[in-house]
Amino acid sequence: MTDTLKTQLTEATSIPSRRRFLGRAVAGVAGTTALAAPMVSIAQAPIVLKMQGSWGAKDIFNEMAEEYVKRVNDMAGGRLRIDYLVAGAVVKPFEVMDAVSKGVLDAGHTVPVYWYGKSKVASLFGSGPINGCDAPQTLAWIYRGGGLALYNELLAKLNLDVVGFFAMPMPTQPLGWFKKEIKQASELKGLKYRTVGLAADLFQQMGAKVTQLPGGEIIPALEKGVIDAFEFNNPTSDMRFGAQDVIKNYMMGSFHQAMEFFEISFNKKKWDTIPKDLQAILQYSVEAASASNWWTGMDNYSRDLAVLQDKHKVKVIRTPKAVMKAQLVAWDAITDKLSAEDPFFKKVVESQRAWAKRVAYYMFVNEADFAMGYEHVFKTKLPA
């Protein structure tokens, strides 16, 4: 083979190799150009949930609802947002559950006793017969003792299209505000008194004339003579709507609403359209807010009780044990009556009692006597 022929063959075989190389190089440049070019994306609009509470604009319960909303909005990363509205913005306080179920509202922040007119069982998830458990222990029943499944069963029975959760195990609610101190249960007979839920049944059993009103309507009703006495929930809420300006006897401690919680609910159809990770944020923010609400309550309730006493000269009185014993007797009568009338009521009560027999026993046997500790440190005798 001549040198000329070898050169021609070498050049011929090298052409495909050069073409392959050049092709790769062009592709590489094109790829680099594509990577270097700015990514153009269209931001998704956030899912917006319209939530209304059952609370007046100045009520601390609004602040507690907003603690929940803030946790959701902070964690949702702009993909979901709750817009919170105060009581009356869309519906009245007692109408929140219906509005959520029908989709008028996407979500609600209320309490089950506000819709117990649909079924008295609802009040068992918001305050009911005394069995030894306090609010934190009863909230544990909801999440660990089968209570949430029973709540969902109730929603299904009532055709309420709702997904609900519970937060903030509320401290025992005071007996309330009275023009004259109540020293014995017989003094409740004939008294025009405001309360809600099964507590209404309780006080009616004890002879009171009960009117059920949302918080914002209490003082006007008192001024018009519709009611003579009332309870709402706690020193902060009570002080903010002006209880101390019309009545000076504030009686603390009672069995009428000893274990209540907030109900945070969502329209089920709307809930089912929300991605699972955002559903998790909505659910677990309930737990986060529950802790935060408790801390907020302890700080405010204790401070405002002192303000009521020191600044407004309110007489703070411990409810007599005789009155509380009469409440327990009345609860027995109501529980027996409603259990006989409604097998589902009985089913829920029995579930709560089975939980209480075990959990409350543990707490009573184990808990330190904190009242003894308080009296020792502060050299102060607590009211009996």
Q: Is the pLDDT assigned to residue 243 strictly greater than 50?
A: yes
Torsion of CA 325, 330, 334, 335, to 10 degrees: 20
Q: Which of 244, 270, 298 is the last residue of a domain?
A: 298
Q: Is the pLDDT assigned to residue 8 strictly greater than 80?
A: no
Query: Are 51 and 200 in a shared domain?
Result: no
Residue 153 resides in a domain: yes
Mean pLDDT over the full length of the chain: 91
Query: Are 102 and 117 in a shared domain?
Result: yes
Query: Are 264 and 121 in a shared domain?
Result: yes
Q: Which of 272, 298, 324 is the last residue of a domain?
A: 298
Q: Is the pLDDT assigned to residue 38 strictly greater than 60?
A: no
Query: Are 328 and 207 in a shared domain?
Result: yes
User: Looking at residue 151, which CATH number applies to its domain?
Assistant: 3.40.190.170
Residue 14 resides in a domain: no
Residue 94 resides in a domain: yes
Residue 55 resides in a domain: yes
Quote the pTM value. 0.87
Residue 333, domain extent:
176-258+313-378
Listed residue (169, 316, 168) closest to 238, CA to CA: 316
Q: How many CB atoms lie within 10 A of CB 28?
A: 10
Residue 99 resides in a domain: yes
Query: Are 266 and 246 in a shared domain?
Result: no
Listed residue (303, 288, 138) closest to 234, CA to CA: 303
Query: Are 159 and 284 in a shared domain?
Result: yes
Portion of the chain with pLDDT greater than 70, in percent: 89
Listed residue (56, 45, 117, 128) closest to 85, CA to CA: 56
Query: Are 325 and 205 in a shared domain?
Result: yes
User: Looking at residue 253, which CATH number applies to its domain?
Assistant: 3.40.190.10
Query: Are 212 and 351 in a shared domain?
Result: yes
Query: Are 86 and 141 in a shared domain?
Result: yes
* pLDDT single digits (tens) 304-360: 999 999 999 999 999 999 999 999 999 999 999 999 999 999 999 999 999 999 999
Q: Which of 273, 298, 323 is the last residue of a domain?
A: 298
pLDDT at 216: 86
Query: Are 61 and 196 in a shared domain?
Result: no
* pLDDT single digits (tens) 39-98: 544 568 999 999 999 999 999 999 999 999 999 999 999 999 999 999 999 999 999 999
Residue 7 resides in a domain: no
Residue 10 resides in a domain: no
Query: Are 71 and 161 in a shared domain?
Result: yes
The count of structural domains within the chain is: 2
pLDDT at 43: 60
* pLDDT single digits (tens) 190-238: 999 999 999 999 999 999 999 999 888 999 999 999 999 999 999 999 9
Query: Are 246 and 274 in a shared domain?
Result: no
Residue 360 resides in a domain: yes
